[in-house]
Amino acid sequence: MKNKLITKVALIGGGPACATAAIQLARSGIEIVLVSKEIGGTIKNANLVENLIGYPHGVVGKDFAKSFQLQLTKAGVPIILEEVLIVEQTGNKYTTKTAETEIISEYLFIGTGSVPKKLDVEGEKEAFLNRKLFYEMYNVKQFTDKKNIGIIGSGDVAYDYALNLQNVANKIAIIRRTDKTSSLPILQKRVNNADNIIVLNNSVIKKFELKDDKIFLYVEEDGKLITMVKDLVFVAIGRKPNYDFLSEDLVSEYNNPKTDSKLKFVGDVNKDNFRQVSIAMGDGMKVAMETVKRIIEKEGYHGTSR
């Protein structure tokens, strides 16, 4: 039998958007529960976050994410570390279900960020299941020591992954399908100055194959099919909003938001979000403050002691 909780506001997501919102709601005396498989979000992938005011020397993504847990605990935010399986709406209440817990709430914030896009080529799934191909960096770096790494992508994430591995991997190749990049100039400059990072242009991945503890990449390069052999591969070709756990009616609301809804989407899960931590934090703060105002003014709610 599932554990059943009833709360004023439920927040789904452990990244900067929901963490910020949860802390502000807790400070305002609103009864809340935050549920997420883990705390930190995709900021844990970042080699160095350099555009946050207050960190003049930048901050390592993993270190920044660790501070979320500390601050949430200090603020007294109840946290359930479980994966959300489905979210439904019944009447004017929202039901959030994990394998172990069912949470009923009047308000619901969803800040589940984004998930990586896949190449959808032959052998990709097998390579991922055999831990030769990855989409996230934060839980894999320890396996990259002295390895020959391929990173597929041409944007900030691909370049950041390469720089993240610069001091541990042996050789790193950024593999781009064109001769253009959307990465920041400062990241391009650092990659160009790195002795063990190369950039391969006009290289389109056609297939992956596992042989002798290596991953073989079959690549179309300038009209010719060539083979590259790597120890590990990272795919960083973009991300998409993460809301697969929503019921059909809530997906419809995601696509057609209602101005008076008690369901709010914050951070990178929003369409066309620029995927910046400061934007996600601002999103969470704004929605939290608007919700506190709404609860106090329209419902006469005066908070719960903490």
Q: Band of the pLDDT at 250, cuts 50, 70, 90?
A: very high
Average pLDDT, the chain: 95
Class at the top of the CATH hierarchy for domain 118-235 = alpha beta
pLDDT at site 303: 61
Mean pLDDT, to the nearest integer, of 5-21? 98
Superfamily of segment(s) 3-115+239-299: FAD/NAD(P)-binding domain (3.50.50.60)
3-class secondary structure, 275: coil
Smallest CA-to-CA distance from 273 within 17, 87, 45 is with 17
φ, ψ (nearest 5 deg) of residue 140: -125, -20
Q: Three-state DSSP class for 270? A: coil
**What pLDDT sits at residue 298?**
77
Q: Flag whether pLDDT at 256 surpasses 70.
A: yes
Q: 3-115+239-299 with 118-235: one CATH topology?
A: yes
Domain locations along the chain? 3-115+239-299, 118-235
Q: Residue 302: what pLDDT?
A: 62
Q: What is the pLDDT of residue 301?
A: 63
Q: List pLDDT tens digits, range 114-168.
A: 999 999 999 999 999 999 999 999 889 889 999 999 999 999 999 999 999 999 9
What whole-number percentage of the chain has pLDDT above 70? 98
Our measurement of the distance from residue 175's CA atom to the centroid of its chain's CA atoms, rounded to an integer in Å, reads: 22
Residue 304's pLDDT band, with cuts at 50, 70 and 90, is low
What pLDDT sits at residue 25?
98
User: Taking 80 as the threshold, does the pLDDT of residue 265 lie above it?
Assistant: yes
Mean pLDDT of 6-11: 98
pLDDT at res. 306: 44
CA distances, 55 to each of 50, 59, 61, 63 (Å): 7, 6, 12, 12
Q: What value does the mean pLDDT take over residues 287-305?
A: 82
Predicted local confidence at residue 305, as pLDDT: 45
Query: What percentage of the chain exceeds 90 in pLDDT?
Result: 92
Cα 284 from chain centre:
15
- Residues 183-232: tens digit of each pLDDT: 999 999 999 999 999 999 999 999 999 999 999 999 999 889 999 999 99
